Structure 1
Amino acid sequence: MRCPYCSCEETQVKDSRPTEENAAIRRRRVCPDCGGRFTTFERVQLRELTVLKRSGRKVPFDRDKLSKSVAVALRKRPIETERIDRMVSGIVRQLESSGETEIPSSTIGAYVMDGLRALDSVAYVRFASVYRDFSEAADFQEVLGEIARDDVTGAALPVAKKL
Structure 2
Amino acid sequence: MKCPFCQHEEIHVLDTRMSEEGDAIRRRRRCGKCDKRFTTYERIELTMPYVVKKNGSRAEYSATKLRSSLALALRKRPVSAEAVDHAVLAIEEKLLTSGQREIDSHAIGELVMQQLKRLDTVAYIRFASVYKNFECLAEFQDAIEEAGHDTPPANLS
User: How far off is 1:73 after superposition?
Assistant: 0.2
Tell me, what secondary structure is at the counterpart of 2:147? helix
Q: Which amino acid aligns with 1:142?
A: D
Q: Which amino acid aligns with 1:139?
A: E
User: How far off is 1:141 after superposition?
Assistant: 1.6
1:126 aligns with 2:114: no
User: How far off is 1:70 after superposition?
Assistant: 0.4
TM-score (norm 2): 0.64
- What is the root-mean-square deviation of aligned Cα atoms in Å? 2.0
1:54 alignment partner in structure 2: 54
Contact 2:74 2:123 in 1 (8 A): yes
Unaligned regions of 5+ residues in structure 1, if any? 1-43, 153-163
- Higher Rg: 2
Identity of aligned residues (%): 42
In the comparison of the two structures, how many residue pairs are matched? Answer: 109
When residues 149 and 119 of structure 1 are mapped into structure 2, their CA distance, relative to the original with a 3 A threshold, is closer
User: How far off is 1:75 after superposition?
Assistant: 0.2
Question: Structure 1: how far apart are the matches of 2:82 and 2:93?
Answer: 16
User: How far off is 1:149 after superposition?
Assistant: 5.5
When residues 150 and 144 of structure 1 are mapped into structure 2, their CA distance, relative to the original with a 3 A threshold, is closer
Deviation readout 1:50-92 (Å, 9 max, x if unpaired): 1001111111110100000000000000001001101001101
Deviation readout 1:95-119 (Å, 9 max, x if unpaired): 0111001010011000001000011
When residues 151 and 111 of structure 1 are mapped into structure 2, their CA distance, relative to the original with a 3 A threshold, is farther
1:63 alignment partner in structure 2: 63
When residues 97 and 150 of structure 1 are mapped into structure 2, their CA distance, relative to the original with a 3 A threshold, is farther
Tell me, what secondary structure is at the counterpart of 2:133? coil
Contact 2:144 2:150 in 1 (8 A): no
1:147 alignment partner in structure 2: 147
1:86 alignment partner in structure 2: 86
Q: Which amino acid aligns with 1:69?
A: S
Tell me, what secondary structure is at the counterpart of 2:51? strand
Q: Which amino acid aligns with 2:94?
A: Q
When residues 147 and 48 of structure 1 are mapped into structure 2, their CA distance, relative to the original with a 3 A threshold, is closer
Question: Structure 2: how far apart are the matches of 1:137 and 1:91?
Answer: 29
Unaligned regions of 5+ residues in structure 2, if any? 1-43, 153-157
Q: Which amino acid aligns with 1:86?
A: H
Q: Which amino acid aligns with 2:122?
A: V
Question: Structure 1: how far apart are the matches of 2:45 and 2:54?
Answer: 25
